[in-house]
Amino acid sequence: MPRLATQIEAILYLKGQPLSIPAIAEYGGCSREEAEDALIELMTDYSRRDSALEVVETPAGYSLQLRATFQDLMQNLLPSELGIGALRTLAAIALHNTITQSDLVNLRGSGAYQHVQELVTQGFIRRRRPTEGRSYLLQVTEKFHQHFEIDQLVPQKSES
């Protein structure tokens, strides 16, 4: 039988979400005090070794997670989850090369505001203020090109 700290490590890994002490004790088949002692042991083990993971206490409970220093790596390696609307908004921005946010909203509807925020947060587009005008200018980033494996887009021609 593995030591309790190792068993709790497996529980935190498998659940993939913060767990309270009572929940950890229940899954581990031990008392709350034993769970607390094993958690302290586990947290100490992680703090002493050069590991990408750590056990932290959050408001929702204890969690096994990636250290904050690896967040950039995670964003670059994990595929982003984009809904159909956000993908269509991203495609409209990419096809126009540079588009004002107001033109995008006229094209895609008011839901584009939320899509733009999501796409900026995930690093697929950049938003900047123009020297003149009030609406942001939107452009795809290098992450967009890498993620979708697109080298170059031919800008869409305006219909006259």
Residue 124: CATH number of its domain: 1.10.10.10
Query: Are 67 and 87 part of one and the same domain?
Result: no
Inside any domain, residue 154: no
Q: CB of 64 within 8 A of CB of 12?
A: yes
Give the residue numbers spanning the domain of 141: 79-147
Q: Which pLDDT does position 81 carry in this prediction?
A: 77
Query: Are 61 and 98 part of one and the same domain?
Result: no
Inside any domain, residue 157: no
Q: Is the pTM of this model over 0.85?
A: no
Mean pLDDT by 10 residues, the chain (160 residues): 90 88 96 96 92 89 87 66 86 91 92 92 91 90 80 51
Query: Are 16 and 69 part of one and the same domain?
Result: yes
Cα separation, 19 vs 140, whole angstroms: 39
Q: CB of 42 within 8 A of CB of 8?
A: yes
Nearest to 16 by CA among 63, 61, 66, 72: 63
Query: Are 96 and 143 part of one and the same domain?
Result: yes
Query: Are 135 and 117 part of one and the same domain?
Result: yes
